[in-house]
Structure 1
Amino acid sequence: MPIRLAFVAVALTLSEPAAAQSLMSGIDLTSPAMTEADMTRTDVEARLAEHPGAAVFDHARLNGLDLSGLDFQGASLRGARLNGTNLSGARLDGVVLDQAWALKARLDGASLKGAHLFQTQLQDASLRDADLTQARAPANFSRADLTGARFTGADLGADLKNQSMGLMRADLTSAKAEGADFSDVNLLRAVIEFADLKGAHLDGANLTTASLAGANLTGASVAGADFTDTDVASARLVDLKGLDETQLEAARNVARAITR
């Protein structure tokens, strides 16, 4: 019995946000694997042309390349290194970017409709006006620029049935998401602390057990959003659009939120 209890305690510990987001621990971000490329833009274009809709770049080093405007539709980039890579305006619909590294990458105006971004590391990346409609994206967007990005119908929530690697969910800590569209998005247990969500669209969003602590939702639209057990401590909930007076009754720390 003590062994079983100890195992449960460890499993619960691994489910905590800090443990779930510890992928950066021990990673040398200055190593060649994280800073250099083993392909050129010409190489990438050739592979895309040879395997249209099915090109494979798994674990490829594409750091720092200018791949703007390229059509990666349907490609696989599992575990690829894309740190500092320019993918502005690229077509990434249906692309698999699971566990890829894209620190400080540029994806402004890129299309990632239906893309799969499980545990993708997008810290400090720029996704201004990017389209992630219907994407499955429990990724790390901390400090990312998501201004005007579209996540309509996307799933950024935790997978409560698969916790073998800890509880993975979207992390939008300190993200800039002014005017972004999160309509009908699953944000179950997402970490959205200190994010800038001014004027964002959260209509119909599932914010159940998410953390909005310190986030700025001034002028955001929240019609039909589910705030059940959502932590809104110190969150700025001023001039919310479409808010029903009963919506925040199920939220946590409402008395500590800024409402005027």
Structure 2
Amino acid sequence: MTSTAPAIAQDLMRHLDLSSPEMTSAEMTRSDVEAALRSSSIGKPADLTGKRLSGLDLSGLDLAGVILRAARLNRANLSGAKLDRAVLDQAWLLGANLEKASLRGANIFGAQMQGASLNGADLSAARLTADLTSASLVAANLENADLGADMRNQSMGLMRAILRSAKLDRANLRGANLSRVDLEFASLKGADLSQVSLRGATLGGADLTEATVQGADFLDADLASAKLVRLVGLDQARNLDQARNLRRVVRE
């Protein structure tokens, strides 16, 4: 069961026409979305579940708490938008622009975010189990975010973040849960991984040059061919001796 969920997602992508109107068009305008926001309240947030919003310019909007479950937001412009506590479970955000957006405490479970841009975005304390393959999160804030697998609930397989070939240079990941996260070939140059759980994470081919790893837990992490150059706080990393496929750590 540990690989069931990623396999299902890959199969879904393989048989889905991403160029179809269902995935590329919008059934609402920005004005329609703004009207829905005006009609909402703190106790009853706007519900845009399943809406086709692909390609829309929603930049700068206050979408805090909005329900966007299974919404199509492919290549939408959400730069600078406020999505704190928003629900983006199973949403489609392929190639979406979320640069400098605020997603503090957002719930992003099973979302498709391949190729999305989240440079400078604030995802602190977010629950993020999305496919972020080739996404860009340069200088993003993921402090105390939960991207790891919940081993107590695996009825759908291993649900965790996929950051394969993603860019996380200079990202703040202090205190984040990255247990069992797929970080193969990801770039984490200069990233702050202080107190991060990397237990069972896959870091094959990842670049951690000058990353801060003080207090980071590497128990059973796969470090095959990972670039571990000039790590900061290496002497205070935990369980590095119990990482898998660790060849050598370059300190100079």
TM-score, L = length of structure 1: 0.91
1:69-218 superposed matches below 5 A: 69-218=60-209
Q: Please state how far the C-alpha of 1:23 moved relative to its aligned partner.
A: 3.8
Name the structure 2 match of 1:33: 22
Q: Please state how far the C-alpha of 1:160 moved relative to its aligned partner.
A: 1.3
Q: Quick one: which amino acid aligns to residue 134 of structure 2?
A: R
**1:67 maps to 2:58:** yes
Stretch moving more, 237-246 or 116-125: 237-246
Runs of at least 5 residues in structure 2 that lack an aligned partner in the other structure:
none
Q: Please state how far the C-alpha of 1:246 moved relative to its aligned partner.
A: 6.5
Runs of at least 5 residues in structure 1 that lack an aligned partner in the other structure:
1-10
Query: Aligned partners of 1:225 and 1:20: how far apart in 2?
Result: 30
Aligned-residue RMSD, C-alpha:
1.7
Query: Aligned partners of 1:21 and 1:181: how far apart in 2?
Result: 29
Q: 1:90 to 1:160 in 2, by over 3 A?
A: same
Question: Which of the residues 200, 211, 214 maps onto 1:220?
Answer: 211
Q: Please state how far the C-alpha of 1:159 moved relative to its aligned partner.
A: 1.5
- Figure out how many residues of one structure are paired with residues of the other and give that number: 249
Contact 1:72 1:93 in 2 (8 A): yes
Q: Please state how far the C-alpha of 1:12 moved relative to its aligned partner.
A: 5.2
Query: Aligned partners of 1:197 and 1:246: how far apart in 2?
Result: 16
Query: Aligned partners of 2:87 and 2:37: how far apart in 1?
Result: 15
Question: Which of the residues 207, 219, 233 maps onto 1:242?
Answer: 233
Q: 1:121 to 1:20 in 2, by over 3 A?
A: closer
Higher strand share: 2
Query: Aligned partners of 1:71 and 1:246: how far apart in 2?
Result: 39
Q: Please state how far the C-alpha of 1:31 moved relative to its aligned partner.
A: 1.1
**1:57 maps to 2:43:** no
Q: Please state how far the C-alpha of 1:19 moved relative to its aligned partner.
A: 5.0
Q: Quick one: which amino acid aligns to residue 240 of structure 1?
A: L
Q: 1:245 to 1:39 in 2, by over 3 A?
A: closer
Contact 1:20 1:165 in 2 (8 A): no
The share of aligned pairs that are identical, in percent, is: 54
TM-score, L = length of structure 2: 0.94
